[in-house]
Amino acid sequence: MKKRTVESYIEAIKAQYEKAKTGPYAAFLIRPSPAQLRDLSFHILRQHQNENDPSAFRDFWEIEFKDEQIRAITNSIDITRLIPIRRFYLGTSTPADLITIEMAALLVDFPERPYRRFINDLPDTPPEPPNSPGGPGTVIIVTSGNNTGGNNTGQTTPPEMGGGSNQGNKGGKTTADTNQTDIIQSLKNKLQAIWNTITRFFRKRQLSKIHYGLTTVAIMVLLVWNLNKTVFTPKNCMVWMEDHYEKIDCNDPEINGEIRPLDEQLLEHFRKVAYSDTLTCFDLYGNPLIWYSKSNGVYELFTHHGLHPVTEKTLKPITHTIINNLNSDPNQ
């Protein structure tokens, strides 16, 4: 039985996702969106089935979970933090930090969460059968050739008791502070294994230095191209995310919504806001600071002129008449 690691924890969460998306949480997980994952996290936390969930919630959102303040908490969190988890479920990427991985485990209700429980629930090595040589409680004493009669061969003595040895904990990392280091070290080990395989291939066939060099260059070019495509691809587009625009890669297949060319002005200043009597609608010279759109009798307010991010209708500058309408019925 293999020792449990961060990698096996991640694979177990992926397997749980495949089960969960056909179970009671299917409505949230079949086509997960950041908003659905946020609502699912509150749903799971309210059930209070795992004592470690509030801690995972606090570490991920950086706020305390309070059941009696669900509405206020919902409006205060940034759901774009859930995009890496959505991509993880869909198989396009893996979160780089344990805090995000723990939230991914919470959202699929992985029963062995958190990670420290996962690695401690399973011993490092499987137990020996009771009657097998060298099994638990048995020490085989091997006698030397000078021992006459061989009477001690096969004799057993009770195992030594005591907690002074650190052998059982050798290599065990059970704190969250070292888990990210485990992931990085695992990636380094995989890259080193690939390089060792390549060098053995060429040494075995004794190819010329020219062939070796050309192939090495080709491999390096392929790696650089792949890194450029997956890591360094410029984000030259944006997409509307509930109340603001977010910068994205134009070719990202996982993005839902209308993808637009990047506009730094809109990206920085265009926001959807709620009306209140403290909202500043005009500057000192009477120029509008708020633009609006009205659909089915409902006003939507934005902090910059332009097109409505969903309907693409031209936004209109706010007027005192519109403000009077909103003051008379704030729910419009």
DSSP string computed for 152-166: TTT---PPP--S---
Q: How far is CA 161 from CA 123, 158, 165, in A?
A: 18, 9, 10
- What 3-state class would DSSP assign to 303? coil
- Cα distance between residue 265 and residue 238, in whole Å: 12
Burial category of 207 from C-beta neighbours within 10 Å (exposed 0-12, middle 13-18, buried 19 and up): middle
Nearest to 299 by CA among 285, 278, 319, 270: 319
pLDDT of the residue at 271: 94
Nearest to 310 by CA among 256, 262, 269, 263: 256
pLDDT of the residue at 70: 61
- Cα distance between residue 107 and residue 14, in whole Å: 11
Nearest to 230 by CA among 252, 214, 211, 257: 252
E-strand stretches of the chain = 237-241, 244-248, 259-261, 272-273, 291-295, 298-302, 316-317
From first to last of its 332 residues, the chain has per-residue pLDDT tens of: 567 888 999 999 999 999 998 888 888 898 888 888 888 888 887 776 677 778 887 788 777 766 656 666 666 678 888 899 999 998 888 888 889 999 899 889 898 888 988 988 755 444 444 444 444 444 444 444 444 444 444 444 444 444 443 444 444 444 444 555 666 766 677 677 777 777 666 665 555 566 667 777 888 877 776 665 555 556 789 989 889 999 888 877 777 778 889 889 899 999 999 998 889 999 988 999 999 999 888 999 999 999 999 888 999 999 999 999 888 876 66
Spatial contact of 154 and 139, defined as CB atoms under 8 Å apart:
no
DSSP string computed for 224-269: HHHHHHHTS----EEEEETTEEEEE-TT-TT--S-EEE--HHHHHH
- Cα distance between residue 303 and residue 272, in whole Å: 7
**pTM metric for this prediction:** 0.37
Cis peptide before 127 (omega within 30 of 0): no
